[in-house]
Amino acid sequence: MMADVLHYRRLMPDDAARLIALVRACYGDSYPMALFYDEAAIASKLRDGLLVSAVAETAGGDLIGHVGTMWEYAGAPTADAMTGMIRPEYQRRGVLAQLTATVGLFYPPVLTGLQLYSVTTHTASQRNGLERGTVECGFLVPEFPSSMNAAGVINDPLGDRNPALAMYCPVQPPPARVVYTPSVYRDKLASLYERLHYPREIRTQSVPVPASVDAHTQCTSLEDPRKGVNRLVIHAMGEDWAQATQAFRQSVDASARTRGWYIDIPLHHPAAIALIERLRQEGWYFGCVLFERQQGDCLRMQYSHARIQREALQIASDTGWQWVDFVLADREATLRASR
């Protein structure tokens, strides 16, 4: 088996069942995204171009590795890299690197960049990203359930949840943007944008917005029980942002240590400052930056009381550790202030 010559190609809709078999071979029933156990949903995403994947295949037709990329909507300038998995007997043979190179051949020409959410139970995916020019951009405490168990790699639980190091791989330069953020986050964002050479004007004071602009907040609530994280995506912010987000903000449960909540806030809107400040008063804290989403960058705020073992985290870079400590310090500050 180990002498197999592998063929790397694009994943097609007819491959959906074989992809699920690969997921089960690598994770059993513990992979935290319900999509990857649903044959019809996988095939639909592939046909629509919202899921673009590369697979490694043996001469006998067995899929032994996969790297995927997911777009939230058709034509989105950035996407989420995800679901990098290799069957245990083929690990540490350069398969992940080859899959990463192959999937890039299928990206649309307008792609600005890729978001990555790398596990912190081991450093393989972090190192694979760093070798390709990714930068760290946050730390998501509740991203993965502690029950996620990948064959062939270290899976020691890191606490109530297994956090992810958020990373970003720039592909093409973005347009210049204005970013609104509370002053408490200004220096961290400025340092990140400087590292990326992204043209961003950071403002820490809101300005009046014409009533005709984004009069009503538009948002979508997403939930994947298998993952255990609820997410509110704000597509447009209006004058009613407080009322529009209230139900979701009040749905959090401080005693639910094995769950988490995210709110993705568009930073191009001046009201972002007030919403972020309100969230920090309620115990939410910095999660990560999402680039070129909803007409500009977004800040993902997170709420989670999950206990994690910092000393058990596997982080591949000093900058990664700086993000871990920044987020954990912000969590402590906001939780203390909200008590």
Alpha-carbon 34 to chain mean position: 16
Q: What class does CATH assign to 177-313?
A: alpha beta
Of 77, 67, 125, 52, the residue nearest 100 (C-alpha): 67
Q: What is the pLDDT of residue 12?
A: 97
Token pair listed for 157: 């639980």
One-letter amino acid of 114? L
Per-residue pLDDT for the chain (339 aa), expressed as one digit of tens each? 455 789 999 999 999 999 999 999 999 999 999 999 999 999 999 999 999 999 999 999 999 999 999 999 888 999 999 888 999 999 888 899 999 999 999 998 889 999 999 999 989 889 989 999 999 999 999 999 998 888 766 566 789 999 999 999 999 999 999 999 999 999 999 999 999 999 999 999 876 655 545 678 999 999 988 899 999 999 999 889 999 999 999 999 988 899 999 999 999 999 999 999 999 999 999 999 999 997 899 999 999 999 999 999 999 999 999 999 999 999 999 988 877
Long-range CB contacts (within 8 A, 24+) of 125-129:
125/84, 125/96, 126/165, 126/167, 126/315, 126/316, 126/317, 126/320, 127/316, 128/84, 128/96, 128/97, 128/100, 129/167, 129/169
Residue 212 has a pLDDT of: 47
pLDDT of residue 1: 46
What is the C-alpha end-to-end distance of the chain, expressed in Å?
Answer: 57
| Global pTM exceeds 0.85 | yes
Alpha-carbon distance 90 to 167, whole Å? 25
Provide the token pair at 211. Answer: 């009533």
